[in-house]
Amino acid sequence: MSGNAIEVVGLVKHFGKVKAVDGLNLSVETGQVTGFLGPNGAGKTTTIRVLLGLLKANAGQASVLGGNPWTDAVSLHKRLVYVPGDVALWPNLTGGQIIDVLARLSGGITKERKQEMLERFQLDPTKKARTYSKGNRQKVALVAAMASRAELLVLDEPTSGLDPLMEGEFQKCIKQVKAEGRSVLLSSHIFSEVESLADSICIIRDGKTIEQGTLASMRHLTRTQVRTDLESGAEKLRDLAGIHDLAVDGQHVSFSVEQADLPTVLNALAELHPLALSANPPSLEEIFLSHYHTDVAKSQGVQK
């Protein structure tokens, strides 16, 4: 298999008759961050549990750090760390104790690293886990994971419940992880987080991969949103090839345009002497939503 940290091809996992994952492809290149996106119930957590050897796949291939996640679970787990999205803790132990337990089972962390992460994430390690808020429970798992030097970080919505300051700290940590050449699988619903961290993005729906690639390559396939203010001549744009969804409201004009048609359209626009102009490449959110909506439309079309 390739040298990718994670490589999944045609993964299938069903629970009884329910197909949670149905032909999913996913790869995480070594030293890179892959964003893992999909609506709730799309099969992200199931895929991650398969990658951790907690669930046994029904079909397809999966390799983690070059090994089989099911048969080589123990040796692989020494090289990776996992942060669940809904962190469950032992209510009677303190946060500090739990971090040590998880870290020790994984292969150990140094006191300095633990202390550094506790300070960065501002977690009080002396409180019993039952007294922690959701964000603080999340921090316990994050501190244990971030303090380690594991080759691969498997993160399932790791920042759910974190405040914006901690979210920023988390992004700094991941950038450091990347700088150290380690790999990250990041499942998240926070588009800004994925946009700023991920080298590659995998979008899934109903257990299938819809698209995987870099953000730039995805943008190629999606239209750029242009907003401009024109004193006159807005109607001339209507006949121009490559312009879609034109909306004129007095001076304010907005439309979308295919990446390929952008030079021609901008030339034509320049001749109209725009007062103001902004052109935004599609955000990840828009890409995600466009996939979501086309899929809904497709499935409704099939039903008819």
Partner 1 sequence: MSTAATLEAPATKSQRDSLSNLGVLLGFTWKRNWVRSVVWLVIVVGMFVFIFDYYKALFTDESQLASFISTVDSPSLLAMVGIISNPISVVGATWCKFWMFGSLMLGIGVLFLMTRNLRGDEDQGRAELIRSTPLGIHSRLASSVILMSVLSIVIGILTGVALAALTSDPNNLQHLVNVSSVAAATQGSMVFGMSIAAMGLLGVGIGALTNEISPSSGAANGIGMAIFGVLYIIRMIGDVQSNAATWVSPIGWGQKMDPYGADRWWPFIMIVILAAILVWVAWMIQSSRDLGDSIAPQRKGKAGASALLTRVWGLGMRLQRGSFIAWIVCLVIFPMVLGSVIKAIRDMISGTTMAGLANMADTLDGVLGMIFIPMLALVVGIFAAQSATSLRTDEAHGVLESQLATGVGRVSWALQRLAVTFVAIVVFLLITGVCLGASYGALVSDMSRLPVVIGSFFAYLPACCLLASIFVLGFGWWPRYAVSVTWIVVVALWAFMIVGLALRIPTWLLDLMPFNATPAVPAVPMNWTPIIILSLIAAAFTVVGLIGFRRRNVPA
- Whichever of 33 and 155 has its CB closer to partner 1, that residue is 155
**Residue closer to partner 1, measured from CB, 73 or 277:** 73
Residue 139 Cβ vs partner 1, minimum distance, rounded to whole Å: 14
Strands (E), the chain: 6-15, 18-28, 33-37, 59-64, 80-83, 152-156, 183-187, 200-205, 208-213, 224-229, 243-249, 252-257, 276-280
Please tell me what DSSP assigns to residue 199.
S
Cα 231 from Cα 249, distance rounded (Å): 11
CB of 153 to partner 1, least distance (A): 11
Give the shortest CB-8-to-partner 1 separation in angstroms.
17
Task: State the nearest-atom distance from the C-beta of 287 to partner 1, in Å.
Answer: 31
The β-bridge partners of 8 are: 26, 62
CB of 102 to partner 1, least distance (A): 6
- Pick the closer one to partner 1 by CB: 133 or 267: 133
The smaller minimum CB distance to partner 1, of residues 104 and 220, is found at: 104
Tokens of 206: 């109903």
Tokens matching residue 304:
């008819």
Closer to partner 1 by Cβ: residue 89 or 203: 89
- Could you list the residues that contact partner 1 (CB under 8 A)? 49, 52-56, 73-75, 77-78, 80-82, 84, 86-94, 96-107, 111, 114, 125-128, 130-131, 141, 154
Q: Which two tokens stand for residue 233?
A: 């001549």
Q: Which residues pair with 11 in a beta bridge?
A: 24
